[in-house]
Chain A
Amino acid sequence: MPPTHDSLNLLPGTLDLLILKTLTRERRHGYAIAQHLRSTSDNALQVGESSLYPALQRLLLNGWVKAEWGLSENNRRARYYVLTAAGRKKLQTKHEQFEERIAAIRKVLEAT
């Protein structure tokens, strides 16, 4: 398994959060999501396909995203993921949880 996988598993649910966040502006297909994560994090976050696609399926199952087929920028059939209303709400709570945890972790780290 690629090492990037582990780096995202630092906190459970982080990958889900990042994917949801990626989809807030526009619909994207899987490759675009990976690209976006990579470029916005200045190559720090390398999402392996082996964790990206299961994560996408999980989001589909929970109804936080929905999938639709469309044409990619170079006219190939691609599956685009769209954030649903439930997903937007989830993103909100997940984001808050994440902030809380980060804050908690920081407190622990700074306490020493």
Chain B
Amino acid sequence: MRRLIQRLRYWTGRKRTERELAEEMELHRAMRQEELERSGMPGKEAGHASRRAMGNVSVAREDARAIWIWPWLEGLFSDLRFALRGLRRDRAFALAAIAMLALAVGLNATMFTVMNTMLFRGFPLVQENDRLVYIQEQGPSGCCMSYPDFEVWRSQAQAFEGMAFIAERPVTFSDGGESSIRIVPFTVSANTFELLGVQPMLGRDFVSADEGPGAAPVAILNYRFWESRFGKRDDIIGSTVYFDRAPATIIGVMPDGFDFPTQSDIWMPLAHTPELHQRSGLAIFEDPGGFLAFGRLRDGADLDEARAELETINRSLEAEYPETNRRVVPTVKTHSQFFVGQDAPMIYGLLWAAGWFILLIACANLANLVLARTVGRWREFSTRIALGAGSGRMIRRILVESLTIAIVAGALGWWIVNWGVRGWAAATASPYQILDHTVDSGRLAYLVAISVAAAIMFSLAPVGRVLRLGVNGPLRGDARGVTRDPRGKRLAAVTVATQMALAVVLLSGAGVLVRSLFNIVGAETGVRDPENIVVGTLRLPPDRYPSPESRLAYFDRLEAQLTSIPGIDAEALAVSLPVGNRYPRAIEIEGRPSPPDGSEPVGLLAVGPDYFRVVGASAISGRDFNNGDDRPEGLPVAIVNQRFAADFWPGEQALGKRLRAEDGEWRIVVGVVSNIMQGDPLRQQFYPLIYVPFRQEPPPNQRPASFLVRTGVPPDQVMQVVRAEVEQSDSGVTLQDFATLKASFAFNRDRMPLAHAELGKNAAMAPIFAAIALLLAAIGLYAVVAHSINQRRKEIGVRMALGAAAQDIRRMVLGDGMLPVAIGTILGLAASLAVNRVLQSQLVGVSPNDPLTMAGAPVVLILVALLACQIPARRAMKVDPTVVLRND
């Protein structure tokens, strides 16, 4: 140790030491010269003689330097050479070890990166994301944010360095040409970008004067929009564009990769309209998420402090404005809580833990492999130790070999991380979730750290063996005594059992997650053959269709065009598609007093006359809508679903009853229809629904309408024509979500409640992890069993010679191998009961202790384990006793 410190000191002061050495030797020479001169030699000659006597000064200096560094480096290099030679000789071992470790550290580090991104990194390019908090309000009537409340916060709250307000504002955009598109820019407080610490890459930021009333309208472009719409023109600054036909000046372009708070093309200063400043409660904002405030915490302030302060302010607001602010509380969240979900730490923590499970399984495999290799070289090691090599040297050799494997695996793992994170980002990209997916040096440091940690972990067992061996252990006969070491066998059994337990936990976790996903996407929706229904959602430009009459005229034209397409059986309009929004309304039923604080609202959908025919619902009783109903002045009728009839008129005849929505006109129920999934994104229940004729309650301005067509031919044959017809009906209309109804039933995170938005990713990732874990565990089991059979060839030979049948040998091998598997499975099941409970909030329609999963996981595992044992067992049965016994 002291020598190591001395060496380090030498290295750090190397220059000085060499200078000193040179000085010292020069002095030596000079002294000799003086002495020679004193003895009478002429000065010049004395100089030459002294130099001659010194010999080769630089060689001497080299020698002196070598004293310090050479033996150490030499040892290291020789170990490294030894390791490389060994690995090259045992290529199968090297490849298997590197592949397993690369996969494991790559996956682990990928999950670490993903977890970091999801929980801690926040927005790309934004400075000190962890100091930003996102704020909305929650009241009895819903969310999200009231601007007057925000102004009070901004003037009173002490916990913030600054706050800003953000609101969506849908507009039509044109750059002066004929065509206009519908976009949804964000209007933001002028200090928004300053608070984020991001500057426009071109032009200028907003200043407070831009926000004031009467300010000249300005806009800042998103890089993506600048690129796609303006071809990255530098002279864009100062040019004029039109929002809802009103001119505005472009003053800046934000840098590439910047989006805030969700994907958007354009930012504008907050428009201080009278509505914004109205203290009208929260109900005016229909679209949650469209309105929010955020703040940067002052140094020293934390989230809880900010939350407590805003709550206090809101209580005083409640006292001041009881009408609008009754029970309105602020919700203060971090980036991950707001945009990823409250359960994010649990979800991504578990994914990371799964990454560690894989790494542990791989390390157990490697430990067994390295141990088997060490035992295989036992004679060599014994000889070396007997010849005087210290056990320290042996341990260093094992460690250097392990580290060599870890370094190569780490390099491959780094490639996996980059590839994996890119794949993850592409597969999970969502316009509503802006994440920083850059893989930086911190991730590299983590990867290096876990690679080295893994190398040390899987070297522990062989190193321990060398230490126990001591000096007088070896040469006491052949390797048999060592390999039969019961401790080694126990260690192998323990690693196999641990691997199996970890694999069971991952399998059962994956099982319940996948079942949850299937419970959503495979749920009964009440729709027949959704793969033959083509759907689309239409957004009409509001300026061109201001009145309900103009919109109905457009729908007439569109329906005429759609029904004329050959291959189409039926067509219908609807305010919402199956599984989509149910637009709940308070309702009143004739003859029943409405409860004082309003009953549970009920979904009310306006649908065209052929709607039930298109979706394939069966009428239970009464009649369907007809074209006579589907007129603004048509008879006020309604059709309810079975669930509604069962909830509101149990045991009664629903037909002929009357009901109305809020203050609408009274409607007669003319039919009861089978249940169709609506309004529950998790698709776990049928809500009571009221259907009314489409043209009696067409969608209000700004709200989309949908169309559904049932095709008699494969849908891809007509989809092009349908799209063309829609575009031809009016080029200003935006067609969204154009697909078959079946495709629209797929899992879409943006349509899920935030708590379950990540289920799709998890249900996709978990089986991958489980499969890799299972594969690695099976490889590990195979290696252990195969190795033990190799060591026991003689014993097997003796048994066979004594009359054991091949079947007995197989039973013996399987029994040996499967015992730790069984123990591991039981432990794993016990652990999954606990782990799956943590998953509970993610599960849909399945219990954490789902019996099917809990039975299925062990069955899968044991089948795979049997397979892994079977291969070596076969080899054991082929052992020829005569050959084995003669060999001894």
Whether the pair B68, A61 counts as a contact (CB closer than 8 A) is yes
Nearest CB of B to A19, in Å: 14
> A13 contacts the other chain (Cβ, under 8 Å)?
no
Segment at the B interface, from A73-81, A90-98, A102-110? A73-81
Nearest CB of B to A8, in Å: 14
Q: Which of B30, B34, B60, B67 contacts A49 (CB 8 A)?
A: B60
Whether the pair A57, B20 counts as a contact (CB closer than 8 A) is no
Nearest CB of A to B34, in Å: 8
Whether the pair B55, A76 counts as a contact (CB closer than 8 A) is no
Q: Which residue of B lies closest to A62 (CB)?
A: B3
Determine the distance from Cα of A96 to Cα of B347 in the docked complex, in whole angstroms. 71
Whether the pair A53, B31 counts as a contact (CB closer than 8 A) is no
Whether the pair B3, A49 counts as a contact (CB closer than 8 A) is no
Known A30-B28, A78-B27, A79-B20: A50·B63 in contact at CB below 8 Å: yes
Chain A residues with CB below 8 A from B30, complex form: 76
Chain B residues with CB below 8 A from A76, complex form: 27, 30
Enumerate A44-73 residues with CB–CB distance to B below 8 Å.
Answer: 48-51, 53-54, 56-58, 60-63, 72
> A1 contacts the other chain (Cβ, under 8 Å)?
yes
> B32 contacts the other chain (Cβ, under 8 Å)?
yes
Determine the distance from Cα of A63 to Cα of B4 in the docked complex, in whole angstroms. 12
> B768 contacts the other chain (Cβ, under 8 Å)?
no
> B529 contacts the other chain (Cβ, under 8 Å)?
no
Whether the pair B23, A49 counts as a contact (CB closer than 8 A) is no
Q: Which of A49, A57, A61 contacts B54 (CB 8 A)?
A: A49
Instruction: Select the residue from A29, A30, A51, A54 with max chain B CB neighbours within 10 A.
Output: A54
Total residue contacts A-B, CB cutoff 8 A: 75
Determine the distance from Cα of A62 to Cα of B6 in the docked complex, in whole angstroms. 8
Known A48-B55, A61-B3, A61-B6: A31·B27 in contact at CB below 8 Å: yes
Whether the pair B27, A53 counts as a contact (CB closer than 8 A) is no
Chain B residues with CB below 8 A from A61, complex form: 3, 6-7, 10, 67-68
Chain B residues with CB below 8 A from A31, complex form: 27-28, 31-32
Whether the pair A57, B60 counts as a contact (CB closer than 8 A) is no
Q: Which residue of B lies closest to A56 (CB)?
A: B64
Known A61-B7, A79-B20: A29·B60 in contact at CB below 8 Å: no
> B795 contacts the other chain (Cβ, under 8 Å)?
no
Nearest CB of A to B721, in Å: 88
**Could you tell me the dominant secondary structure of chain B's interface residues?**
helix
Whether the pair A50, B67 counts as a contact (CB closer than 8 A) is no
Whether the pair A30, B60 counts as a contact (CB closer than 8 A) is no
Determine the distance from Cα of A61 to Cα of B64 in the docked complex, in whole angstroms. 11
Determine the distance from Cα of A79 to Cα of B24 in the docked complex, in whole angstroms. 6
Nearest CB of A to B433, in Å: 60
Chain B residues with CB below 8 A from A62, complex form: 3
Chain A residues with CB below 8 A from B68, complex form: 57, 61
Determine the distance from Cα of A76 to Cα of B24 in the docked complex, in whole angstroms. 10
> B720 contacts the other chain (Cβ, under 8 Å)?
no
Known A54-B63, A72-B27: A63·B6 in contact at CB below 8 Å: yes
For B698-715 the 0/1 string (1 means CB < 8 A from A) is 000000000000000000
Determine the distance from Cα of A43 to Cα of B66 in the docked complex, in whole angstroms. 29
Known A50-B55, A63-B6: A58·B67 in contact at CB below 8 Å: yes
Q: Which residue of B lies closest to A50 (CB)?
A: B60
> B44 contacts the other chain (Cβ, under 8 Å)?
no
Q: What interface size band does chain A fall in? A: 20 to 34
Enumerate B287-301 residues with CB–CB distance to A below 8 Å.
Answer: none
Whether the pair A49, B2 counts as a contact (CB closer than 8 A) is no
Instruction: Select the residue from B25, B28, B61 with max chain A CB neighbours within 10 A.
Output: B28
Q: What interface size band does chain B fall in? A: 20 to 34
Whether the pair B55, A29 counts as a contact (CB closer than 8 A) is no
Chain A residues with CB below 8 A from B55, complex form: 1-2, 48-50
**Could you tell me the dominant secondary structure of chain A's interface residues?**
helix
Q: Which residue of B lies closest to A79 (CB)?
A: B24
Q: Which of A1, A30, A51, A63 contacts B24 (CB 8 A)?
A: A30
Determine the distance from Cα of A18 to Cα of B68 in the docked complex, in whole angstroms. 21
Determine the distance from Cα of A56 to Cα of B34 in the docked complex, in whole angstroms. 23
Nearest CB of B to A67, in Å: 8
> A34 contacts the other chain (Cβ, under 8 Å)?
yes
Nearest CB of A to B258, in Å: 57
Nearest CB of A to B637, in Å: 102
Chain A residues with CB below 8 A from B65, complex form: 57
Determine the distance from Cα of A56 to Cα of B60 in the docked complex, in whole angstroms. 11
Q: Which residue of A lies closest to B66 (CB)?
A: A54
Known A61-B6, A61-B7, A63-B2: A50·B24 in contact at CB below 8 Å: no
> B56 contacts the other chain (Cβ, under 8 Å)?
yes
Nearest CB of B to A35, in Å: 8
> B21 contacts the other chain (Cβ, under 8 Å)?
yes
Instruction: Select the residue from A30, A49, A62, A74 with max chain B CB neighbours within 10 A.
Output: A49
Chain A residues with CB below 8 A from B54, complex form: 49-50
Whether the pair A53, B21 counts as a contact (CB closer than 8 A) is yes
Whether the pair B24, A57 counts as a contact (CB closer than 8 A) is no
> B59 contacts the other chain (Cβ, under 8 Å)?
yes
Nearest CB of B to A111, in Å: 29
Chain B residues with CB below 8 A from A63, complex form: 2-3, 6
Whether the pair B3, A54 counts as a contact (CB closer than 8 A) is no
Determine the distance from Cα of A60 to Cα of B27 in the docked complex, in whole angstroms. 19
Whether the pair B3, A29 counts as a contact (CB closer than 8 A) is no
Determine the distance from Cα of A31 to Cα of B55 in the docked complex, in whole angstroms. 15
Whether the pair B28, A54 counts as a contact (CB closer than 8 A) is no
Enumerate B154-204 residues with CB–CB distance to A below 8 Å.
Answer: none
For B36-65 the 0/1 string (1 means CB < 8 A from A) is 000000000000000001111101110111
Determine the distance from Cα of A51 to Cα of B65 in the docked complex, in whole angstroms. 12
Chain A residues with CB below 8 A from B25, complex form: 30, 49, 53
Determine the distance from Cα of A51 to Cα of B57 in the docked complex, in whole angstroms. 11
Determine the distance from Cα of A53 to Cα of B63 in the docked complex, in whole angstroms. 8
Determine the distance from Cα of A60 to Cα of B60 in the docked complex, in whole angstroms. 16
Chain B residues with CB below 8 A from A60, complex form: 6
Instruction: Select the residue from A2, A31, A48, A76 with max chain B CB neighbours within 10 A.
Output: A31
Nearest CB of A to B192, in Å: 63
Determine the distance from Cα of A62 to Cα of B55 in the docked complex, in whole angstroms. 26
Enumerate B269-328 residues with CB–CB distance to A below 8 Å.
Answer: none
Q: Which of A1, A34, A57 contacts B67 (CB 8 A)?
A: A57
Nearest CB of A to B875, in Å: 54
Nearest CB of A to B404, in Å: 28
Known A30-B24, A61-B68, A76-B27: A50·B56 in contact at CB below 8 Å: yes
User: What are some 14 contacts across the A-B interface (CB < 8 A)?
Assistant: A1-B55, A30-B28, A49-B28, A49-B57, A50-B55, A53-B61, A54-B64, A56-B64, A61-B7, A72-B27, A77-B27, A78-B24, A78-B27, A79-B20
Given contacts A60-B6, A61-B7, A63-B6, 11 further A-B contacts (CB under 8 A): A1-B55, A29-B24, A34-B28, A49-B25, A50-B63, A53-B24, A54-B63, A56-B64, A77-B27, A79-B23, A79-B24
| Chain A residues close to B by CB (< 8 Å) | 1-2, 29-31, 34, 48-51, 53-54, 56-58, 60-63, 72, 74, 76-79
Of all A-B residue pairs in the complex, the 3 with the closest CB atoms, nearest first, are A50-B60, A54-B63, A57-B67
